[in-house]
């Protein structure tokens, strides 16, 4: 085995923690942990939606960012994109079983966020009010 190939070998212990740069689950966490992905998956949990509906519901997202997010979620198997052969084109997005399997976890995270927003606001205010030398 060449030195280069040997250097690239990764042990199981290196791949079994998301803290490792070799952990394959990091890519998944990057996708599902992205704020736009959370919003899209949660909205699609209510049923199939068209691009314009998603854009309207997530009004602060740009068209380009929504497109990038949808493509990434489709590529990773979380959503289906269905194109209907009509004019003008009609495209709908829905969750795959994999995407639906995330709903309980994401909804729990959203509920936690709602339940703790006041505490986070207080912590931010405390931080912002502190003297710069206190940090």
The CA distance from 63 to 44, in Å, is 17
Let me know if domain 33-134 sits in CATH 1.10.10.10. Answer: yes
The CA distance from 79 to 5, in Å, is 36
Read off the pLDDT of each residue in 30-40 and give the average, rounded to a whole number: 90
pLDDT, residue 78, reads: 97
3-state secondary structure of 123: helix
Is pTM beyond 0.75 here?
A: yes
The CA distance from 42 to 9, in Å, is 38
pLDDT, residue 13, reads: 54
Read off the pLDDT of each residue in 24-38 and give the average, rounded to a whole number: 86
Two tokens at 71?
């493509």
Candidates 21, 53, 24, 28; CA nearest to 40 is 53
The pLDDT of residue 2 is above 60:
no
The pLDDT of residue 111 is above 60:
yes
pLDDT, residue 33, reads: 81
- Reported as a single tens digit per residue, the pLDDT across 40-79 is 999 999 999 999 999 999 999 999 999 999 999 999 999 9
Residue 16 — very low, low, confident or very high, per pLDDT cuts 50/70/90? low
Residue 38 — very low, low, confident or very high, per pLDDT cuts 50/70/90? very high
pLDDT, residue 6, reads: 47
The CA distance from 10 to 48, in Å, is 41
Domain ranges of the chain: 33-134
The pLDDT of residue 116 is above 80:
yes
């Amino acid at each position: 085995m060449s030195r280069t190939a040997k250097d690239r070998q990764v042990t199981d212990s290196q791949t079994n923690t998301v803290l490792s740069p070799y952990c394959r689950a990091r890519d998944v966490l990057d996708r599902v942990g992205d704020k736009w992905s959370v919003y899209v998956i949660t909205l699609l949990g209510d049923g199939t939606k068209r691009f314009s509906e998603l854009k309207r519901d997530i009004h602060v997202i740009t068209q380009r960012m929504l497109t990038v997010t949808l493509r990434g979620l489709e590529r990773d198997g979380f959503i289906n994109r269905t194109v209907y052969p009509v004019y003008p084109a009609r495209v709908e997005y829905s969750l795959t079983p994999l995407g639906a399997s995330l709903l309980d976890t994401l909804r729990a995270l959203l509920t936690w966020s709602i339940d703790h927003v006041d505490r986070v606001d207080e912590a931010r205010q405390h931080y912002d009010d502190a003297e710069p030398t206190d940090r």
